[in-house]
Amino acid sequence: TRKTRRTTGRHGAAALGLACVMVVFTAAPGSAGSGGPPAAPDPYFPLAGNQGYDVDHYDLDLDFTPATDLLVARAAIKAEARRDLTRFTLDFSGPAVERVVVDGRSAAFSRDGQELTIVPAGKIRAGRDFTVTVWYRGTAAPIDDPALGVYGWINTDDGAVALNEPDGARSWYPVNDDVRDKATYTFRITAPAGLTALANGEPQGKPRTVGDRTTAVWSMRKPMSSYLSMVAIGRFTVTDGRVGRLPNITAYDPAGDGDDAALHRTTADAVRWGQERIGRYPFDSTGGIIDRIDVGYALETQARPVYDGEPDEATIVHEIAHQWYGNSVTPKTWADLWLNEGFATYAEWLWQEERGGPTAQSVFDQLWATPANDDFWHLKTADPGRDELFNYNAVYLRGAMALHALRTTIGDRDFFTLLKVWADKYRYDNADTRDLMNLARAISHDNVKPLFDAWLYTAAKPATPQG
């Protein structure tokens, strides 16, 4: 909910003191090295990702038993080598690996921290497609990071849910955990009959029950960053509807409060609003899942966000806005997360402005009144530091304020054009703050650099509202 995201913000604020001891830039060299030229890992998550290959598709076969939290899984990953590979790494901190096969031949493997190193029987030549299949079994556990909270694979009372942002995918499947390596996904989820399994995207036929276990298959056919992959297993009541021609599949845990009628309706309204204001909806379905988890945030998991309780309208608008801003147009590095959160927060402001609520200008004015010596201003919006990734003030609110400052500088007409062209030009792609600045300049013919410098690259209150 909105409140829970504020909680995330406060959580972030509590950790502010840690920012100055951040050492990630000098941390261990990137994992990717094995088998090729130096990689360019993300400065905030230097151990994640491997630039030696590019994943096309993840085929995840997950068999889960809530009574014991046992996960028995097989991940088949189809990738293309970008250079000759005699060995390569995947990010994986999940349960015990039993076997690895590369292109039909057994491969040697070893584990060290979050790296699963695989040595195929023969060299994989640059440009070739290959498939690596990993069998693993045991209990998966979430990541509990002092600054970023609880995320990854979370076992619940009646099932499990996986919420990966930022680097939690490795807690439940072997992954090239790089925001830039988007791939398509198939999820085949088996659980005790009577439970429901959901994931990103669209169901492939009806779930099939054999004996006392049911298998559901879901697929995400549009490119997806690993931090947006999701499965949810448990007791769920599902509402299967449509927004225009787009399937709208929502689900809620009947043991929680309320139901998902409001979620279903508001999700449809928010998608229609985005289609008008931003443009073509980027995925083949929409929806949402209300689960009883206590993580203190909602997550915009691709095509189907997860809410940790019954969300208010602003939160739904926020997570649906992320489908364009974040999921389809994705930052190149985590330092640019404001491109997700600033846009999604600004979408909330626009939504309420259009519905007779406070105007975006009045929200901006109220925040602008924050004194220059307040902590509110003390981080850089574009590059707040790894531990302050979800800082509500610096990334969400000042991100939205930066967009509002841009709007008042280039004018409504150019600004609303920019909102559309940004989503269209970089659809399914990655983009950074500089790309946004260049696009704003191209559309408006204004020199927006001073504004970007003051609002995004400076850890201080700008001299004037327009930078």
| Residue 288 contacts ligand ARG per CB under 6 A | no
| Residue 344 contacts Zn ion per CB under 5 A | yes
Q: Report the distance separating Cα 114 and Cα 366, nearest Å.
A: 44
Q: Is 171 helix (H, G, I), strand (E, B) or coil?
A: helix
From the list ligand ARG, Zn ion, none, which binds 222 (C-beta under 5 to 8 Å, kind-based)? Answer: none
| Residue 118 contacts ligand ARG per CB under 6 A | no
- Name the residue nearer to ligand ARG (CB basis): 313 or 341: 341
In the stretch 289-308, what mask flags binding to ligand ARG with x, by CB under 6 A? --------xxxx--------
Q: Nearest approach, Cβ of 300 to Zn ion (angstroms)?
A: 6
Q: For the chain, how far is it from start to end, CA to CA, in angstroms?
A: 31
Q: Nearest approach, Cβ of 37 to ligand ARG (angstroms)?
A: 32
Q: Nearest approach, Cβ of 50 to ligand ARG (angstroms)?
A: 22
Q: Give the start-end residues of each E strand in 23-170.
A: 53-65, 70-81, 88-91, 96-102, 105-106, 108-112, 115-119, 129-139, 142-145, 149-155, 160-163
| Residue 293 contacts Zn ion per CB under 5 A | no
**Total residue length of the chain:** 467
Q: Nearest approach, Cβ of 318 to Zn ion (angstroms)?
A: 5
CB atoms within 10 A of CB 424: 15
- Name the residue nearer to ligand ARG (CB basis): 19 or 79: 19
Q: Report the distance separating Cα 467 and Cα 463, nearest Å.
A: 6
Comparing C-alpha atoms, which of 233, 270, 268, 269 is closest to residue 253? 233
Q: Residues 153, 349, 364, 390: which binds ligand ARG (CB under 6 A)?
A: 390
Selected range binding Zn ion among 106-114, 130-138, 210-218, 343-351, rule: CB under 5 A: 343-351
From the list Zn ion, ligand ARG, none, which binds 379 (C-beta under 5 to 8 Å, kind-based)? Answer: none
From the list ligand ARG, Zn ion, none, which binds 378 (C-beta under 5 to 8 Å, kind-based)? Answer: none
- Name the residue nearer to Zn ion (CB basis): 9 or 159: 9
Q: Report the distance separating Cα 290 and Cα 200, nearest Å.
A: 14
In angstroms, what is the C-alpha Rg of the chain?
22
In the stretch 336-365, what mask flags binding to ligand ARG with x, by CB under 6 A? -----x------------------------
The edge-to-edge listing of strands for the beta sheet with 286-290 is 237-243, 246-252, 286-290, 306-307
| Residue 270 contacts ligand ARG per CB under 6 A | no
Helix axes 313-324, 261-277, angle to 10 degrees: 40
Structural contact between residues 321 and 305, judged by C-beta atoms closer than 8 angstroms: no
Q: Which residues, 70 to 99, sit near ligand ARG by CB under 6 A?
A: none
Q: Give the start-end residues of each E strand in 297-372.
A: 306-307, 329-331
Q: Nearest approach, Cβ of 145 to ligand ARG (angstroms)?
A: 7
In this structure, which amino acid lies at residue 243?
A: V
| CA–CA distances in Å: residue 233 to residues 82, 86, 197, 289, 466 | 36, 38, 4, 11, 47
CB atoms within 10 A of CB 460: 12
Structural contact between residues 289 and 232, judged by C-beta atoms closer than 8 angstroms: yes
| Residue 165 contacts ligand ARG per CB under 6 A | yes
Element (H, E) at 363: helix 360-368
- Name the residue nearer to ligand ARG (CB basis): 85 or 397: 397
Residue linked to tokens 């439970």: 195
Q: What is the largest CA-CA distance in the chain?
A: 68
Q: Report the distance separating Cα 74 and Cα 425, nearest Å.
A: 36
- Name the residue nearer to ligand ARG (CB basis): 133 or 266: 266
| Residue 263 contacts ligand ARG per CB under 6 A | no
| Residue 154 contacts ligand ARG per CB under 6 A | no
Selected range binding ligand ARG among 97-105, 143-151, 234-242, 402-410, rule: CB under 6 A: 143-151
Q: Which residues, 414 to 453, sit near ligand ARG by CB under 6 A?
A: none
Q: Nearest approach, Cβ of 337 to Zn ion (angstroms)?
A: 9
- Name the residue nearer to ligand ARG (CB basis): 158 or 165: 165
In the stretch 228-257, what mask flags binding to Zn ion with x, by CB under 5 A? ------------------------------
CB atoms within 10 A of CB 465: 17
From the list ligand ARG, Zn ion, none, which binds 165 (C-beta under 5 to 8 Å, kind-based)? Answer: ligand ARG
From the list ligand ARG, Zn ion, none, which binds 390 (C-beta under 5 to 8 Å, kind-based)? Answer: ligand ARG
- Name the residue nearer to ligand ARG (CB basis): 2 or 82: 2
Q: Nearest approach, Cβ of 392 to ligand ARG (angstroms)?
A: 9
| Residue 8 contacts ligand ARG per CB under 6 A | yes
Given the rule CB under 5 A, which residues bind Zn ion? Answer: 341, 344
Given the rule CB under 6 A, which residues bind ligand ARG? Answer: 5, 8, 148-149, 151, 165, 297-300, 318-319, 341, 390
